[in-house]
Structure 1
Amino acid sequence: MVNCAVKNWQGEDVGQASLDFKVAKEENAAHIVHRALVRQLNNARQGTSSTKTRAEVRGGGRKPWRQKGTGRARAGSIRSPLWKGGGVIFGPKPKEYNLKMNRKERRLALRTAFQSRNEDLIVVKNFAQEFTAPKTKELVNAMSRWGVATGEKVLLVLAEMTDNVYLSARNVASVKTVPADGLNIFDILNAGKIVVTDEALAKIQEVYND
């Protein structure tokens, strides 16, 4: 169990929140988190790169010159891979990069990764009511009060995605906003700081602690 201070909109400590996850054993933690990260990155690949072999390139059906007597090297097609405009030898073809991982393992990896970031975790009271309209500057100032450095990568986790908060964060290149039930291993590991509302933290433990 990890205890975290809860901050209000002004950046003052107003309470405590606990983070209690079933995580992987220390000797297996790095391995399972690495597998989950590789799986996510591989599954994001489209695998649509493709090249044409000499059989697929248009043209080259006629022998360019006779076999003997010309003094030149023998050639059977102008679409040989040795020629400009010819086919490609062993080039890429469309393929699937998807890797499989059991759901329980994926959940375990995500919980382990999330709890490992406890030193970079900032828990704040739900602040949706502070935004009656999208205000990027107000959100940036609030993050500064919470201890986020300027330009630092931030993962903002909300219990519910509200338009005003989402639109306020969208204009900041270093901030990514996700719902509590939409966490993924890459975003958790890639962020410099993880800002999560108290309601989102409770929802994360409810959704992923199984």
Structure 2
Amino acid sequence: MKLDVFNIQGEKTGRAVDLPDDVFGGEPNEHVLYLAVKQYLANQRQGTHKSKERWEISGSTRKLHRQKGTGGSRKGDINSPLFPGGARVFGPRPRDYEQKLNKKVKRLARKSALSAKAKTGSIVIVEDLNFEAPKTKTFVDMLSKLNVGKKSLVVVAEQNENAHLSSRNIPNTKLVRAQDVNTYEIMYANTLVLSEGSIQKIVETLA
């Protein structure tokens, strides 16, 4: 698949790049995409939720009234989950939500995500981003001239401090290095903006 290369002014440079079919031209595997996205979201959870159990409640352990003869139901102490301020039955405990996924499956998921974007024409190729100084307005103008809508993922070959500082305050726009891109971010973005140099890095990472 060949795509035109644009500059940061949104103009065609007259050059085109060929996206390798083994990375960008495959048939998206929906189940693998599901597994990779589920793993990513699960691994974002902190798992620090906690509610007090009966033995942790600060209250008297005295039985509220005698067992029989009152005409009322049987009651234990005030820490019972049946009373306001009492413990919670089977409440949440701290736990680790981390999920494991094989490297081959994760690699296949990224290839599927890239292929899905290529299939829908949601990939834009731009020259390598060389900003002389960090300036958010310059980055916003570039996205506007490239006709990139909301929720965009910009992929660069190497860490670019000026480009990073220029993009970090833009809502629904994220800039990442080619080796750090993941399936969830690719699928979440409406448009994938690849710098010219990042394509080879992506191919090497997924080889």
- TM-score clears 0.5: yes
Q: Where does residue 165 of structure 1 map in the other structure?
A: 163
Kindly indicate whether residue 206 of structure 2 is the aligned counterpart of residue 208 of structure 1: yes
Distance in 2, matches of 1:110 and 1:29, equals 10
Q: Quote the offset at 1:77 in angstroms.
A: 0.7
Identical amino acids, percent of aligned pairs: 38
Give yes or no for contact 2:157–2:177 (8 Å, CA) kept in 1: yes
Residues 155-208 of structure 1, C-alpha deviations (whole Å, 9 max, x = no match): 111111222111111121121111111001111011111111000111111112
Q: Which residue of 2 aligns with 1:88?
A: 88
Gaps of 5+ in 2: none
Q: Distance in 2 between matches of 1:194 and 1:25?
A: 17
For residues 99 and 7 of structure 2, the distance between their equivalents in structure 1, rounded to whole angstroms, comes to: 42
Matched, 1:63 2:63: yes
Q: Which runs of 5+ in 1 are unaligned?
A: none
For the residues of structure 2 that align with 1:195 and 1:116, how far apart are their CA atoms? Answer: 14
TM-score when normalising by structure 2: 0.90
Q: Could you tell me which of 185, 189, 197 is aligned with 1:199? A: 197
**Secondary structure of 2:59 counterpart:** coil
Q: CA deviation at 1:67?
A: 2.4
Q: Is the 8 A contact 2:51 2:92 kept in 1?
A: yes
Name the SS of the counterpart of 2:140 in structure 1. helix
1:13 corresponds in structure 2 to 12
Aligned-residue CA RMSD in angstroms? Answer: 1.8
Amino acid at match of 2:129: F
Which aligned pairs between 1:132-151 and structure 2 lie closer than 5 A?
132-149=132-149
Native 8 Å contact 1:19 1:115 kept in 2: no
8 Å Cα contact 2:26/2:111 also seen in 1:
no
- Give the match's secondary structure for 1:94: coil
Shift of 1:13: 2.0
Count of equivalent residues:
203
TM-score calculated relative to the size of structure 1: 0.89
| Residue pair 2:136, 2:166 contacting (<8 A) in 1 also | yes
Residue by residue over 1:121-153, the C-alpha shift from the partner in whole angstroms, topping out at 9 and shown as x without a partner, is 11111131xx2211111111122111213xx11
> Aligned letter for 2:5?
V
1:16-41 deviations in whole A, cap 9, x for unaligned?
11222536974x70111111111111
**Cα-to-partner distance string for 1:7-64 (whole Å, 9 max, x where unaligned):** 12222222111222536974x7011111111111111111121112223322231112
Could you tell me whether the CA contact under 8 Å between 1:21 and 1:205 is conserved in 2? no
- Residues 151-190 of structure 1: matches in 2 within 5 Å? 152-190=150-188
Q: What secondary structure, in the 3-state scheme, does the structure 1 residue paired with 2:145 have?
A: helix
Secondary structure of residue in 1 paired with 2:18: strand
